[in-house]
Amino acid sequence: MSESKISNANFPDEIICDVLSRLPVKSLLQFRSVSKHWRSLITDTHFIKSHLKKAESISSHHRILVPVSPILSLDYNVSPYSISSSTELDCKFIKPWNSGKLLGSCNGLVCLIDGRKDISIYNPSTRRHFKPLQSSQQAVRHSPNESYQTEFVYGFGCSSNSIGPRVFRFPRFARDSESLVYDFIDTVGTFLNGSLHWLARYSNNDGEHRVIALFNISQDTLSDLSLPPHRPHQPVLPYYALGVLKGCLFALCDGINHTGIEVWLMKEYGVVNSWSMFIKIPLDNGIGYMRPLSCVNDDEIVLEIDLQSYAIYNAKTKTLEHVKSVHNLKWFGDAAVYVESLLSPEVSCVLY
């Protein structure tokens, strides 16, 4: 069929765009070659936003990025108990990766930092990357007389009224507008609802407190949220990880005597009283660490186990089944869930 016949088909652009917006990125990249008109539709900013919005609600468009070498993109939706659909991503722009780290994902983009402390923004779906900040620009010292480099924590996210993410970098000890100094525990922030979140601690006349340090991207402000409340007649359990599950902020803590982990969800964002224990997962068979990544359905949760494997926990049957993979993942560090997107990786970097 000639390009003129495709362009003059009896389908309004609105219908064509609606159909195309439900397709995976791989198909859309191929369909850009159908005609100049289709290329124009698929590369349009409004279409990219529409596709992203739909992809976020379609679980088959979600994948796990595993920071091994080469980096892997895993599809856990084809068969949750056997991750056989995986893609090796040749990220030659990251060197060396054996000391690299994922700094988060947002709108289909992932933020990576390599062993030289160079930051890269990467779209695993389009294979495009961008380096907003080089290591030579990061050597910030407290004063000319100090011989050590400032410790930093990082965040990657966007404001609630924009799809364009930014990279944020804070000193480990950061001050809010009321001169309260937070000592960040997390080195990587969790992005949700236009804000970045880190576990942190601060001290005052009442002693040391552990909270969630919150940076509102739109308002450019640093504040805090309370962790789930301490329950009467039980010892204080340390919260050691944050994340997002079912669209809610979650906090992890050890169970009593390290027998399991408790996953607490903030059902209503920003409302401390909405903290609720979502699930308790037993730690057995030598497992020392686990972290929820995503929900396969209402009952099954994908877990990262000891930074080297995956498992599916069924909340209804209370069973844990390890996931088979075609790759020997070995030790890989924290993975990240991302959504397929056409978004450009060219983002800005903000230093504080």
Mean pLDDT by 10-residue block, N- to C-terminus, for the chain (352 residues)?
Answer: 53 90 93 92 93 88 83 72 69 69 90 81 92 53 39 88 84 78 90 94 76 92 87 63 92 76 92 91 76 84 81 85 66 80 83 62
**Contacts (Cβ under 8 Å, ≥6 apart) of 310:** 64, 76, 83, 293, 302, 303, 304, 322, 323, 325
**What's at 291, amino acid-wise?**
R
Q: 146 phi and psi, to 5 degrees?
A: -95, 140
Confidence (pLDDT) at 147: 34
Q: Domain segments of the chain: what residues?
A: 3-43, 51-351
Using H for helix, E for strand and C for coil, what is the string for the chain?
A: CCHHHHHCCCCCHHHHHHHHCCCCHHHHHHHCCCCHHHHHHHCCHHHHHHHHHHHHCCHHHEEEEECCCCEEEEECCCCCCEECEEEEECCCCCCCHHHCEEEEEECCEEEEECCCCCEEEEECCCCEEEEEECHHHCCCCCCCCCCCCCCEEEEEECCCCCCCCEEEEEECEEECCCCCEEEECCCECEEECCEEEEEEEEEECCEEEEEEEEEECCCCEEEEECCCCCCCCCCCCCEEEEEEECCEEEEEEECHHHCEEEEEEECCCCCHHHEEEEEEEECCCCCCCEEEEEECCCCEEEEEECCCEEEEEECCCCEEEECEECCCCCCCCCCEEEECCCCCCCCEEEEC
Residue 191, pLDDT score: 95
Residue 305 to residue 258: CA distance in whole angstroms: 15
The tokens for 119 are 């930051």
In this structure, are residues 341 and 107 in contact, taking their beta carbons and an 8 Å threshold? yes
Contacts 24+ apart (CB under 8 A), 57-62: 58/22, 59/296, 60/24, 61/24, 61/339, 61/340, 62/294, 62/337, 62/338, 62/339, 62/340
Integer Cα distance of 246 and 281 in angstroms: 17
Closest to 127 measured CA to CA, from 46, 25, 22: 25
Token pair 């050890």: residue: 254
CA distance 14 to 10: 12
Q: Which CATH architecture has domain 51-351?
A: 6 Propeller (2.120)
Please name which of 279, 277, 181 lies closest in space to residue 222, comparing C-alpha atoms. Answer: 181
Task: Check residue 333 and give left, alpha or beta (phi > 0: left; psi -120 to 50: alpha).
Answer: left
Taking the C-alpha atoms of residue 26 and residue 89, their distance in angstroms, rounded to an integer, is 14
Please identify which residue in the block is written with the tokens 């997107």: 341
What per-residue confidence (pLDDT) applies to 342? 94
Q: What is the pLDDT of residue 117?
A: 76
pLDDT of the residue at 139: 38
List Cα–Cα distances, 87 to 67, 194, 253, 305, in angstroms: 12, 30, 33, 21
> Can you tell me the distance from the alpha carbon of 50 to that of 72, in angstroms, rounded to the nearest whole number?
27
